Each structure stands twice: as C-alpha cells, then as structure tokens.
C-alpha cells in the first residue's frame, strides 16, 4: 500500500468516526445519518486517479484553527495529510460570473455515487463530500433536490437557511437541509472546513438561487 493510500484510508476512518459520534449523540436529530455510516462501512475500493490539489487548499487547511473536540481534530489532521493526494474540484466551473467565490471554494468527494466523477471511493447508501472555503467568501444561496446534512468541522462561519438570518455556527455544529431548501455560508477571518452528506437523489445538480 502506498503512502497516499494510507493517508486516504486514514481520512476515511476519521470521517467515519466523526459521523459515528454524531449518530450516537442523543441531542442531535440528523435524518438518515445512518446511511452515511453504512456508506463508509460498505464502501468500494479506493479509486485510482491523478490528484488535483491547488496550493491554496493546503494553505487554507494549515491556516484554520485546530478544533478542540477530538473527532474534529482527528479529521482535520487526517485531511491535512491526505489533501495533496485527493482530487479537488470546482463545482461551479460553468459559472464564470462567480469568479470571486470559485477562487476561494474547493470540494472533494470522499464517497460518491457511481455517476459522479472524481470520487475517492464509491459509497453505497450516501455521498460524502468535504468542502474548504477561504476567509471572507460568500457561498451564495443555493439549493438542490438531495436532502443534506452539513457539519462544520473547523472554522467559525455564518450559515443561512431559507429566509432566516445568517447565524454563527462553531465547529461541531450540524445543519439539516431538506430538498430544495435554500442555504448559504459566509466565512469571516478564517477558512471553513465542512463535511456534507447527501442521503438521496445523489446524482442531482446544485442550483444557485439567482
């Protein structure tokens, strides 16, 4: 096994531990989070592919403050190590009007459905993504058919859901977005690292609400 594969498997294990901790937390009400646990437990083999990691991704991961909670720390450290071996994508490459946002937003697919490109592995029950957002960047209001669970892994950012106001969500905050619920994220002086989980309609597209 190569060092890259070891780093990737460590990241998948750390992600599974984070999701497992949330699933076991009686104070959280996260619909279908068990699908994410099953998706990683039953995942396929690591998929080959050339890594694509813009230098800014590693810079942002190094710059964000290490969370105090153990399972968040473990995931961020594993992500810092594995980031150069992953394929980071621009989900809005077809939106030249969003140049400022796109310059500071990156995503990678840890466990994807078979139709999605650039996935580290195929997930059977849920798709799992990591996003990295630079400081002082607005991820504009957007929506999609897929129901979504979001976890703030590191960085303090403001989150907006539907017609509600932006609210500060510290690390270990979980957000639930039902299908076609508009949501947005605004970073402050530090980057945001987040985990996103889609539990149905995993081949859908994301629409900016403009």
For residue 112, what is the domain's CATH number?
2.60.120.10
Range of the domain at 177: 3-202
Residue 49 lies in a domain: yes
Is 210 part of any domain? no
Give tens-digit pLDDT for 185-200: 999 999 999 999 999 9
Amino acid 113: pLDDT: 78
Does 92 score more than 80 pLDDT? Answer: yes
Is 176's pLDDT higher than 80? yes
- On whether residue 207 sits in a domain, the answer given is no
Compute how many other C-beta atoms are within 10 angstroms of the C-beta atom of residue 100.
12
Evaluate whether residue 61 is within a structural domain.
yes
**Is residue 148 a contact partner of residue 197, using CB atoms and an 8 Å limit?**
yes
pTM exceeding 0.85: yes
Is 209 domain-assigned?
Answer: no
Q: pLDDT per residue over 32-46, tens digit each?
A: 999 999 999 999 899
Position 99 in a domain:
yes
Report yes or no on 177 lying in a domain.
yes
The predicted pLDDT at position 48 comes to 77
Q: Could you give the C-alpha distances from 181 to 83, 149, 207, in angstroms and in order?
A: 30, 12, 11
Instruction: Write out pLDDT tens, residues 98-140.
Output: 999 999 999 999 998 776 667 899 988 999 999 999 999 999 9
Q: Would you say 71 and 17 are in contact if contact means Cβ atoms under 8 Å apart?
A: yes
Alpha-carbon distances of 19 from 2, 92, 134, 188, rounded to whole Å:
26, 27, 24, 26
* Farthest-apart Cα atoms in the chain, separation: 49
Structurally, the chain folds into a number of domains equal to 1
Question: At residue 184, does pLDDT exceed 70?
Answer: yes
What tokens does 162 get? 């539907």
Q: How far apart are CA 79 and CA 45, in angstroms?
A: 19
pLDDT value of residue 115: 67
Question: Rounded to an integer, what distance in angstroms lies between the CA atom of residue 24 and that of residue 91?
Answer: 32
């Amino acid at each position: 096994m190569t060092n890259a594969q070891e780093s990737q498997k460590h990241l998948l294990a750390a992600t599974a531990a984070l999701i497992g901790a949330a699933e076991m937390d009686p104070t959280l009400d996260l619909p279908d989070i068990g699908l994410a646990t099953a998706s990683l437990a039953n995942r396929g083999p690591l998929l080959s592919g050339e890594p694509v990691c813009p230098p800014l991704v590693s810079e942002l991961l190094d710059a964000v403050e290490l969370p105090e909670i153990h399972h968040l720390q473990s995931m961020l450290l594993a992500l810092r190590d594995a980031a150069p071996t992953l394929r980071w994508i621009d989900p809005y490459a077809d939106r030249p009007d969003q140049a400022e946002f796109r310059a500071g937003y990156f995503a990678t697919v840890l466990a994807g459905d078979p139709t999605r490109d650039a996935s580290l592995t195929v997930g059977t029950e849920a798709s799992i993504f990591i996003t990295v957002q630079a400081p002082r960047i607005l991820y504009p209001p957007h929506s999609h058919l897929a129901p979504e669970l979001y976890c703030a892994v590191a960085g303090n950012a403001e989150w907006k859901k539907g017609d509600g106001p932006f609210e500060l969500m510290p690390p270990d905050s979980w957000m639930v977005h039902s299908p076609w619920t508009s949501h947005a994220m605004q970073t402050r002086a530090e980057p945001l690292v987040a985990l996103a989980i889609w539990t149905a309609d995993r081949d859908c597209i994301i629409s900016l609400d403009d």
